[in-house]
Structure 1
Amino acid sequence: AGSDEACFDDYTTLQWQAFDAMSSQIRAAFPYAIDRHILNSAGIERFTQWQCERVRLGIGLYGISPVNQQALMQVASFKTQILQLHHYAKGESIGYSRKAYLERDSVVATIPVGYADGFLRRNKGGEVLVNGRRARLLGNICMDACMVDVTDIPDVKEGDAVVLFGDSLSISQVAERLDTIPYEILTSVSQRVKRVYFHE
């Protein structure tokens, strides 16, 4: 229940002891071997002595570690492209309810991803990557789109790549900014978002 946090190690040890005692009795009652598993992704890293015959690699399968992110490589990314570019004057408002007012003359990109795609409205004011550079989201996240300040992105054009999470903007970073966990970011991506799978 708390294998990812050292403050719960005493409780985790009690859980292991209870599991080991109970599962040992069950195994002794059968004439054949029974595999056991108790560790999740964090437990696999932190409690190698309890790995038994099996482990449960959950979020670690996606290259996300609740313990040591540097040890794994994130395998999932959420990408789109710039749909439209518009030039706005300083002081103009952007988006529904006029939630963002421009502090300078700006180039604003519309990207075709919104909360119906699982790009949470809490991302308001966050960042995406445009051509590998960080760019700030403007105004509210709409159902099917959102706006990005690309004023400082050189040679930006419609069709340019936008990363909502990926190599240089990790799921863990997005989750931390939104005060949530990587699981929510991953599982929020809706079914209407096209999945592309790569195999080596």
Structure 2
Amino acid sequence: MIEEPFYRDTWAEINLDAIQNNVRNMKKLSGEKVKIIAVVKANAYGHGYAEVAEAALAAGAESLAVAFLDEGLYLRSAGIKAPILVLGAARAGDAALAAEHQIALTVFSEEWLKEAASHLHDKKLSIHIKLDTGMGRLGFTEKDALDRFAAYAASAEKVEIKGIYTHFATADELDTGYFEKQAARFEELLEGLPAENWLVHCANSAAGLRFPAKHFNAVRLGISMYGLSPSAEMKSELPFPLEEALSLHTRIVQVKKLKKGESVSYGATFTAEEDMWAGTLPVGYADGWIRKLKGSEVLLNGERVPIIGRICMDQCLIRLPGEVKTGEKVTLIGRQGEAFIPVDEIAERLETINYEVTCMMAARVPRMYLKNGSIMKVKNYLLS
């Protein structure tokens, strides 16, 4: 059922079946004893917080992970009841708010926890202990400090340790040397800790797909839940096919015939070398379709056609194979018939990673959620 309308001819489609199949396949690979933590930070990598969270949980994920407390609070306001873990740093003064909404926080400092406990009053805070085994961002690095912290946290009346984890820097690279070093350090730091009843997780998507022996009792499924490989080089290592969930579409809003010598868009960087047809698309860099994509291709009637001229904030132009009607659907990412433009193709053109392509899709682009081939919901952030 469509809940919210949208009033522009550009939209993203999110295939919830694909997301659920990716979760189920990871669950099958990991085994029933390993819990799946669905990572839905950054608006579910651009796909939509609540909608992806609900789909992942229905497919067998047991809990969710976000980057910041605000994201966890948003999920709670959307009616999500499942356990939520904040992976990033939170302010000690916000610990009571997290506890009130039953959102677990990542902790990596005894001083932080002591300050946080002073704010809890009658609330009890759930925490996951973060270990830095070589990523260099957040976490305990020394065994002595970790053991002291764990003993203190275990004795604190208002604190409950729910998990312990680390994050790999190179699990998506074919050279496993650094990965193995991190994995060994993680096990060294775990030694002697009373972790029997904790969630122990170090496997992100890459490690989860490649190294089942490192699953412990939980896997954080991020980029691959959305059907994208953690890196291009590990595609050959995938244990099951990933189903890409996101596609991006627009419609031609004007068709015009350019005469030889006429130019288009800012800077007049494209000049027609012969009489030709051009179409205007209502999508631009403010939507995440950035200027560096000048010259890339889109799909029209199952055929590739090029973008011409500079991409504007809200519009861009394409070269048409001939005169076509306004309103024709154009696919920027995704499939039309046998033709396919994957997210990785856009990432390669931008000299970046697929994560960035989906994450930078602007909130003003409506998201259309599909289930069993039908429109289940439309999310328009501008009219919410």
TM-score surpassing 0.5?
yes
Matched, 1:134 2:277: no
1:152-167 correspondence to structure 2 within 5 Å: 156-167=324-335
Matched, 1:62 2:200: no
1:48-87 correspondence to structure 2 within 5 Å: 48-65=212-229, 66=231, 67-68=234-235, 71-87=241-257
Q: Which amino acid aligns with 1:19?
A: F
1:84-99 correspondence to structure 2 within 5 Å: 84-99=254-269
1:168-187 correspondence to structure 2 within 5 Å: 168-187=340-359
Partner of 1:20: 187
Partner of 2:365: 193
Kindly provide the CA deviation profile for residues 138-185 of structure 1, in whole angstroms up to 9, marking residues without a partner as x. Answer: 010001100000125xx6321111111113100011101111111111
2-structure distance, mates of 1:135, 1:117? 20
Matched, 1:150 2:284: no
Q: Which runs of 4+ in 1 moved over 3 A?
A: none
1-structure distance, mates of 2:301, 2:370? 21
Kindly provide the CA deviation profile for residues 88-144 of structure 1, in whole angstroms up to 9, marking residues without a partner as x. Answer: 012211111101111221110100000111111110111111122111000100011
Q: Which amino acid aligns with 1:13?
A: E
Q: Which amino acid aligns with 1:14?
A: K
Q: Report how many residues are paired.
A: 194
Q: Which amino acid aligns with 1:115?
A: Y
Q: Which protein has the larger Cα radius of gyration, Structure 1 or Structure 2? A: 2
2-structure distance, mates of 1:25, 1:160? 64
Q: Which amino acid aligns with 2:349?
A: R
Q: Which amino acid aligns with 2:220?
A: R
Match of 2:281 among 89, 111, 127: 111
Matched, 1:11 2:178: yes
Q: Which amino acid aligns with 1:49?
A: A
1-structure distance, mates of 2:368, 2:331? 14
Measured after TM superposition, the shift of residue 20 of structure 1 is 1.6
RMSD of aligned Cα (Å): 1.6
Measured after TM superposition, the shift of residue 77 of structure 1 is 0.6
State the secondary structure of the residue aligned to 2:368. Answer: coil
Q: Which amino acid aligns with 1:136?
A: P
TM-score (norm 2): 0.49
Measured after TM superposition, the shift of residue 34 of structure 1 is 1.3
Structure with higher RCO (Cα < 8 A, 6+ apart)? 2
Q: Which amino acid aligns with 2:211?
A: F
Measured after TM superposition, the shift of residue 47 of structure 1 is 1.4
1-structure distance, mates of 2:170, 2:273? 45
Identity of counterpart residues, as a percentage?
38
Partner of 2:5: none
Give 1 or 2: higher strand fraction: 2
1-structure distance, mates of 2:187, 2:371? 38
Kindly provide the CA deviation profile for residues 9-68 of structure 1, in whole angstroms up to 9, marking residues without a partner as x. Answer: 111001001112222432xx25x5212111111112221221111111111111001222
Measured after TM superposition, the shift of residue 87 of structure 1 is 0.4
TM-score (norm 1): 0.91
